[in-house]
Amino acid sequence: MKKVAFYTLGCKLNYAETSTISRMFEQGGHQKVDFNDTPDVFIINTCSVTENADKKCRKIVREAQKINPDGYVAIIGCYAQLKPQEIADIQGVDAVLGAAEKFRLVELLGSFEKQPRQTNEPAQIFASKIADALDYHTSFSLNDRTRTFLKVQDGCDYPCAYCTIPLARGGSRSGTVENVVAAAREIAAAGVKEIVLTGVNIGDFGLQNGQRTETFFDLVKALDDIEGIERFRISSIEPNLLTDEIIAFVAASKRFVPHFHIPLQSGSNKILGLMRRRYKRELYAERVEKIKSLMPNCCIGVDVIVGHPGESDDDFLETYAFLNQLDVSYLHVFTYSERANTPAATIKPSVPAHKRAERSRMLHILSDKKKRHFYEQQIGQTYSVLFEDDVVAGQMHGFTENYVRVVAKYDPLLINELKRVELSGINQSGTMDVRDVEPSIVAETRA
C-alpha cells in the first residue's frame, strides 16, 4: 500500500477529476494523505490557462521533492497535455500523462516505483494526440469540502482566439442525462446538500460521439427532481447558450439556485470579434436583464479578460463603462497572457504589461464596488445558508442560495446544514453578519 497525495491547480473541473482519481487509488488499496505527510506518490493535476499556472506546477514539484526526495511524482492535466516534453524534463518528475491517459494512471504506472535515471534523462510520457481524447469520464468531488463539484461535460468546440482548452481537453463531449443523474443520486446518498455543475462548456451538454442526443435544459429538468440534494448551482455558462427557457426554469425551480456565472471577456464588440466569441455585448446585456426581471436578487458573476491583443485604451474604457452599468454582482478578472499555438498570440499590437496591470487593477476595484452594492441590497433579506466545514478563529462561514458569503460563530451542529438567517449587515471582512431566524444560529456581529 502506498501513501498518495494530490495537488490540484486550476478550475472546479480539475478538482472534480482529482477527487475521482483519488478514489480510484483508494479502491486499489492505497492510502490518501495530505501533501506534507511524506507521501510515497505525488499526483499533481495541472492547469495551463495562464503562464502563471505553468510556473505553479514547477513550484509544486520542487515542494514535493523537499517533502520526500524519493517520492514518485506524476503530472496530469492540461499543462501535461500541452507540453509533456517540457514537463518530462523537470527534475524530479517521473511520469507525465495526457488527457486520454490520466484516468488510466493506476493501470499505466503500476507499482509507482521510482526508477533510476541518468541526470538528463526525461520522465516517462504517456500522452496521445488530443484528437484521441474521445472518452468521457464522469467525475465528482467528494469528502473534500461541503459542496460537491459534479462534472457534466468536457472539452470544447469553441476555438476562442486566446484559449488553449480545446488543445488541452479536446472536443466537446458529455455524460448522458441518465449517468449524470445516477452520479447525483450517489452524491445525495453521501449526505451532500449542494452540487455545483461544472465542465468546460456546460451549456453545450448533450454531445456523445459527436452527435447531439440531449440538451443542457434536459439535464437541468432531470436534476431538479432528485431527492436529497437541496441545491444545484450552475458554475459557468456561455451567454449564447443560456436560453430564456433555462432562465425561466431556474427562476421557478425547486433546487436550482439564483446564481449564474456568465463569461463576458470583453464589453467591446470589436474585441469580442478578435477573441472569436460567439455573441455581441448586446446579447449579454439581454441575458442579464432577463435574469434580473425574473430573479431580482439573483447573483451574477462575470469573467472578463484585460489586455487582449488589439485592445486599445478606448476598447478597455468601453468594457469598463459597459460593466459599470450592468446589474452584475462581481467580476473574475483575468490578465491576458500569451499562450503558444493560439491565434491571439499573432494579433498585433500587443498590450504592454504595465497597461494590462493597470486595467486589471481598475476592474478589481469595480468588482469590489459591484459586490458591496449587491450585498447592501441583501441587508434585511432572509435566506438559507449552507454552512461549511472550515473554522477560523472560532468562526465558520457559508453561502446563501444567491451566493452571499456569511459568517457565524462556530457551531459543529451547523456544518453541512441549511439554516434560515436574516442578513443584518456587511462586516469589516466584506462578508455578511446574520441574525437568528432559527434558534440554533448564534449571530456574529463582527469578523
Domain encompassing residue 418: 382-436
List beta partners, residue 77: 46
Rounded Cα–Cα distance for residues 298 and 430 (Å): 19
| Domain's final residue, options 257, 291, 313 | 257
| Domain's final residue, options 97, 129, 161 | 129
| Domain's final residue, options 242, 257, 272 | 257
Domain contains 83 = yes
Domain contains 195 = yes
Co-location of 13 and 124 in the same domain: yes
Domain contains 47 = yes
Domain contains 304 = no
Co-location of 108 and 192 in the same domain: no
Domain contains 52 = yes
Q: Residue 243's domain is classified under what CATH number?
A: 3.30.750.210
Q: Which amino acid is at 318?
A: E
Quickly list DSSP for 320-345. HHHHHHS---EEEEEE----TT-GGG
422 sits in the region (left: phi over 0; alpha: psi -120 to 50; else beta) called beta
pLDDT at 443: 38
Rounded Cα–Cα distance for residues 322 and 313 (Å): 14
pLDDT at 108: 92
**Could you give the C-alpha distances from 423 to 258, 377, 406, 415, in angstroms and in order?**
17, 10, 8, 19
pTM, rounded to two decimals:
0.93
Dig out the grid coordinates for 296 from the structure.
Answer: 431580482
Co-location of 150 and 121 in the same domain: no
Co-location of 145 and 225 in the same domain: yes
Co-location of 7 and 75 in the same domain: yes
Nearest to residue 267, comparing CAs of 324, 318, 333?
A: 318
Instruction: Say what percent of the chain tops pLDDT 70.
Output: 97
Structure confidence by residue, pLDDT tens digits, 392-441: 888 999 999 999 999 998 999 899 999 999 999 999 999 999 987 665 44
**CA pseudo-torsion sign 438, 229, 328, 389:** positive
| Three-state SS sequence of 72-102 | EEEEEEHHHHHCHHHHHCCCCCCEEECCCCH
Rounded Cα–Cα distance for residues 80 and 44 (Å): 10
| DSSP single-letter state for residue 123 | P
The count of structural domains within the chain is 3
Co-location of 101 and 167 in the same domain: no
pLDDT at 268: 98
Co-location of 153 and 95 in the same domain: no
